[in-house]
Structures are given as structure tokens and as C-alpha cells.
Chains A and B, each alone.
Chain A
Amino acid sequence: MWDYSDKVKEHFFNPKNAGAVVDANATGEVGSISCGDALRLTLKVDDDSEVILEAGFQTFGCGSAIASSSVLTEIIKGMTLDEALKVTNQDIADQLEGLPPEKMHCSVMGREALQAAIANYRGEEWKDDHEEGALICKCFAIDAVMIEEMIWANKLRTVEDVTNFTKAGGGCAACHEDIEAILEKVLAEKGEKFDPGAAPVSKPAEKIAAVKAPLTNLQRIKKIEMVLESLRPSLMADGGDVELVEVIGNTAYVNMTGACNGCQMAAMTIAGIQQRLMEVMGEFIKVVPASEMKKLVNIEVA
């Protein structure tokens, strides 16, 4: 069974706002019974203020689908439609104290039902732009469709390319065989052959020259800053950032900020930063959240 948070269980066992809203003036429906998830969101919107007075859901789906629907109705009640449009699937997942990566699509479905309902109220047509494939990378929740699109769009040729462009495969690496299979398939469609030893396509971030000689502490700090700088664009693409707080010996203390702060993937990201630092520096570097610094007695004294 999934490792659901207490919040997910709470909303599943005691769902809020179940059932259709009587006199609803907005309805959004997403999913279908064939894909195992279907959500109908009904809203009662005040015509003058555009405030959502009532929200109700009817969901066919698993525990996290029902919990996502329930928490969504709680989030949006009392919001104006414009405020509600700013609700992201991450907000839904956060309110549930996180969802397993395989279940993130439940929160996406919630956001889409909301968008569809608001479009319905405003007499607009809402189009879904997202297609979901089989989940490949469980560490970063990247699906096959996303990987295929990136391979096509960026002429990717190796697993390393795919990791650089999508993050898929950058964590535990268990999905590398699956990524190779996707590469083989797409490259075959393009009339090319998959070669695991192919030269990487130019990376999003420029490569930093690896360190050869031993470093002074100042050199080390400068080099660490350079590496963090190079990683920053991909962190910022996810709404996060990283800040170097202190370097003591071989330990770098960092603050994960923005969306990275409190993200379930923060530990994974830190491990990725550490790996990259070690590649460049050619020495063992430990990356530790700055919050851990307080635990060091000598820092307290200092």
C-alpha cells in the first residue's frame, strides 16, 4: 500500500464537500472511467463578486484522488475565481502534506477540474494540454511522454542527455534501462540508432573545468559557488533556489529556498548537488542543509 500522509487519510476517510452542489452554476469534469480517475467539480459562484460560495466533488478514483478532490474544495471555498485560478497542483499536494510521485497526477486532475469549472462558468472553452504517460522516473515524477517529447525537441541521444534536460534518471538511477528503451524507440523512429557512448548534446548549463590540483579553502569556496551558479537555472525552473551559507573543511552548508524549501525532493536535490560538486572538485564534498549547522557545538560557541 502507498505511504499516504495522515492528511491524505483524513480527507479520504472523512471527505469534505462530497456530492454535487445544489444550484451549481459552474461544472468541471475531467478524467474518465476508463483511465480509472474521474472528477466532477461543481461550484456555486456569486455572480457579483465572483466568490466561490460552495464547492462539491464527485470522484471515481483511488484514495489520493478522493483526498485531492476533498482538499481542493476546502482550498477554493471563499476564493474569487481569479484567486482560485492561481491554485496549482503543488498547492493541492502541499495541503495534503505531500503525495507519492505516482499519485501526483491526482493533484493535477484537481487543478484541471477547477480550471474546467471556471471556464464553464465564464462560458469559455477549456482545453487540456497535458498528456500523461507511464511514470518512468519515480524520484522526480517524470513520465514517458515528457521524456519522448524532450528527446524529439532537443535531439537527445543518451541517458545523460535525458537526465540533463528532464531530471529523469538523476536520482536512484533505477529507471536508466527504461530511459534507454525510450531512446531506442524514439531514435529508431528518427532513423537513428541508440549508442550509449554517444557524445552528450550541449547541456543546458555550461560545463565547468574539473579541478586538478589540491585547493585552498578560498579556492574551494569560489569553485563551489561556480558549481551552484551553474545548477541554479534548473532549480529556478522548478521555482526553487540554493544559497551557500558556510564551508567548513569538506562540508558545504546550503539553504534550499523557494519551492525547494520543504519540498519532498529537497534531500534528492541536495544529493544531486553533492554529486555534481564532487565531479568538479575531484574530492569528497558533503552538502548539508544549513539548518543542521546548529547541531555543531563548535559553531554554537563560535
Chain B
Amino acid sequence: MTDIYLDNNATTKVDPAVVDVMIPYFLEQYGNPSSIHKFADGVARGLKQARQQVQALIGCEHDSEIIFTSCGTESNSTAILSAIKAQPDKKEIITTTVEHPAILSLCDYLEKDGYTIHRMPVDKAGRLKLDAYQRLLSDQVAIVSVMWANNETGTIFPVAEMAEMANAAGVMFHTDAVQAVGKIPMMLQDTKIDMLSLSGHKLHAPKGIGVLYLRRGTRYRPLLRGGHQERGRRAGTENTASIVGLGKACELALEYIEYENTKVKAMRDRLERGITEEIPHCFVTGDMYNRLPNTTDIAFEYIEGESILMLLNKAGIAASSGSACTSGSLEPSHVMRAMDIPYTAAHGTIRFSFSRYNTMAEVDEVLKVMPGIVATLRKLSPYWDGDGPVANPEQAFAPTYS
């Protein structure tokens, strides 16, 4: 069996059809789109088409609401910094404890500059409390930034509803939708979302291309100033090949969105059910009833995630973990901590994330090796004794220090 890639929330394979449409922009139509000679005369059309392909996928009203950026992180930074620059008197930002570091690190940084950051907590299933959110909304808030779907658990936040609430309070609303775009249908023109970030490499386009959706009329200050590219809202020569590739990837994502929510979901469900039925002491994290169709995050108790990943990798299976050790920190992922997942399990979480390239045969292969991997590591664990955890693990183990 060839290697199995179940880490599609980290990044995806570029679709060969995407590569095909990109090649001419390296070798033939390599002119600067601002030029008027024949090396560039098709480029503007290519960009226009890509803008419309993105527009169709996210359902926004105008293609001029699409600003191409270099990545999801740039889109996120642009959105938040624009909001505070445009409204210098508003000194509060609302976000959540489970955002991607692209948002959280920036907020930490702004906090040092005197901004008040409201990081909304989540419950054990990773859900937000909207009444608490309502109380935070005020004319002091420059922007709300809430992810559409969580990268680790796939849990979906009610961003459309939250955008309505923000709008009613006169507050700008941004959503980091890099995990959601292409996996769940969306129609932005029917929402009050002001800004949205998406990233090409999460949906089978190349790395290094992203989009900031900016609702027409939203007050805006560019992050990069310079040339007139992107109508002056994001200066810098266009990454033409990648933009065209992203356009194609969005077209394909729209075609496959039903497949994603039926066939891909069925693979995810089969893997999840198989693992939780077959292996004792493991459970699914996040909101099981409101999740991305491609993601499952399973916590294996009494063992550590990096060890699981290394054994999976040896078996030719790629996944990822919220374990501390994969990131080099001592704490398990901030998402697991925010959901109050017990430490006995938080270090042993494994995320399997699917794409349309996966197959049921691959699911069966993972189901074949997973019980053995978990058993092997539990045999080594001081918290495991024979067929189950030692009684009262926290007390059974009496370290000289902890």
C-alpha cells in the first residue's frame, strides 16, 4: 500500500489540473500584468477569471471584494490591523481562545500596545456562549475575529449569526475561514461578514497564495502600500501563476463540495467509528454534531501524540497531533486546554483530516494498524497496567518532582 495522507488540514496536495493552468504563467504569459505587451496581455484576463472563481466559491456579491494576498496569515493580519488603523479610538478586540496563532499571536502583540483583548472561552465540546459574546459587543470594539472552523477539531462556529450580532452593534466582523472554505458551502453576500481570510494551500492550490475578502464599503487601510495592484489595497506585483491556480482550485472545490460532505464525510465517520469502537480509552474531541466533514480529532489516553505519529509514519500514515512535543513546547495545544481536555488525554490527541484524494481502502488500512500502535505505547506507559489504566493514575505515579 502506498503512503496515506490524512493531514489535509495542515496542507493539501496541489490538484494536477491546478498545476496545468499555472504552467503557462511561468513560461509564456510571464509578463507583469501592469505591462501592455503580448507577454502580459492574457494575464489580466487570467486574474479576472480567478477572481470570479473565488467569488463563486465564497458567494460574495462583487469580484472586486476579492484581494489576493500571500497567505492566510497575511489576510488575518491585514484584516485586524486595518480595523484598528481605520478606527483608532476603539481599543478592544474580541476573539476566541481557540483561534489559530495567526490571530492569537497578533492579539498578544497588540495587547502590549494597550489593546484590550477579549478571548472568549469555549466549553468542553469547543462551543462558544453567544450570550457572553453579546455582552462584550460595544462601541469600544474595533473588530471581532472568530474562526469559521477550528483547525484541530473541525468544530464550526456560528459566524453568520455572530456577524449579525456584531453588525447590529456597529462592530466590524472578520472570520478566519482557511479551514472552512471549500469544505462547507457558503454564501457571503447573505451574511454580515465584513472580512474573511482564506488560504490556497488548504484547498489544493499552491502554498503562498491567500485571499482577503473585503465587503464593499467596509472601512479599510492597506497593510502593504506601494503600487496600484489589487486596486491599491495590497501593493506588490501579483503572484499571477498562483492566483490563476487558486482560481482553478476554487472552481474544483465548488464542484466537489457535495462529494466533500458525503463521500469524504463517510470516510471520516468510518475511521472515527472504527477507532473508537476498537480501541479502549479514546474519545473524539470537539463538537461532534457540528464539524467539518473531513476532520476528526481523537484523544488516546495515557500515551503521547508524537510517539503515535512516529509509529503511524513508520506504517506509512501521515496525521498530526496537538501534543506538546510536536511543537517543542511543554504544554499541549491551546485548543485542547481551552476545552479542558484532561491532561491524561490532551497529550495524546491525533487529528486525521481527509481530502477528496483519500479512499475507503486507506481508512481500512489505518484501522488495521491503529489498535496495535496504541497497545504498543500503552505497554510502555507507567499509567497503563495490562488491560487498562492503573487505578487513579495521578496518585499511582509519585514523582519526586512534577
**What is the total number of residues of chain B having a CB less than 8 Å from a CB of chain A?**
36
Q: Which of B306, B344, B394, B402 contacts A62 (CB 8 A)?
A: B306
Q: Assess whether A63 is in contact with B380, with CB atoms less than 8 Å apart.
A: no
- Most A CB contacts (10 A, CB to CB) among B304, B331, B347, B399 go to B399
Contact with B along A1-43 (1 / 0, CB 8 A): 1000000010011010011000000001111111111111000
Output the nearest chain A residue to B393 by Cβ-Cβ distance: A33
- One of B34-42, B186-194, B309-317, B356-364 at the interface: B309-317
Q: Assess whether B397 is in contact with A29, with CB atoms less than 8 Å apart.
A: yes
CA gap between A127 and B400 in the complex, in Å: 7
Inside 8 A of A152's CB, which chain B residues have their CB? none
Q: Enumerate chain A interface residues (CB-CB to B < 8 A).
A: 1, 9, 12-13, 15, 18-19, 28-40, 57-66, 100, 102-103, 112, 116, 119, 126-128, 132, 134-135
CA gap between A18 and B381 in the complex, in Å: 9
Q: Which of A13, A38, A58, A135 contacts B328 (CB 8 A)?
A: A135
Output the nearest chain A residue to B305 by Cβ-Cβ distance: A62
Q: Which of B309, B329, B379 contacts A1 (CB 8 A)?
A: B309
- Interface of chain B residues 368 through 402 with chain A (CB within 8 A): 379-383, 393-394, 397-402
CA gap between A102 and B329 in the complex, in Å: 8
Q: Which of A15, A60, A119 contacts B304 (CB 8 A)?
A: A60
Q: Assess whether A61 is in contact with B307, with CB atoms less than 8 Å apart.
A: yes
Q: Assess whether A38 is in contact with B401, with CB atoms less than 8 Å apart.
A: no
Q: Assess whether A38 is in contact with B343, with CB atoms less than 8 Å apart.
A: no
Q: Assess whether B402 is in contact with A66, with CB atoms less than 8 Å apart.
A: no
Known: A30-B399, A34-B343. A60 touches B306 (CB 8 A): no
Known: A35-B330, A39-B382, A135-B328. A62 touches B323 (CB 8 A): yes
Q: Assess whether A33 is in contact with B380, with CB atoms less than 8 Å apart.
A: no
B375 CB, min distance to chain A CBs, angstroms: 13
Question: What is the predominant secondary structure among interface residues of chain A facing chain B?
Answer: mixed
Output the nearest chain A residue to B324 by Cβ-Cβ distance: A36
CA gap between A9 and B309 in the complex, in Å: 13
Is B302 at the interface (CB under 8 A from chain A)?
A: yes
Known: A35-B330, A116-B400. A60 touches B383 (CB 8 A): yes
B297 CB, min distance to chain A CBs, angstroms: 17
Output the nearest chain B residue to A60 by Cβ-Cβ distance: B381
Q: Assess whether B307 is in contact with A35, with CB atoms less than 8 Å apart.
A: no
List 17 A–B pairs whose Cβ atoms lie within 8 Å, in order of A's numbering: A1-B309, A13-B310, A18-B379, A19-B380, A33-B302, A33-B383, A33-B394, A33-B397, A34-B343, A34-B402, A36-B304, A36-B332, A38-B397, A58-B382, A116-B400, A127-B401, A135-B328
Q: Assess whether A134 is in contact with B314, with CB atoms less than 8 Å apart.
A: no
Can you name 8 extra interface pairs (CB under 8 A) apart from A30-B401, A119-B400?
A12-B307, A30-B399, A31-B399, A33-B302, A59-B382, A112-B400, A128-B401, A134-B329
Output the nearest chain A residue to B343 by Cβ-Cβ distance: A34
Contact with A along B291-305 (1 / 0, CB 8 A): 000000000001111
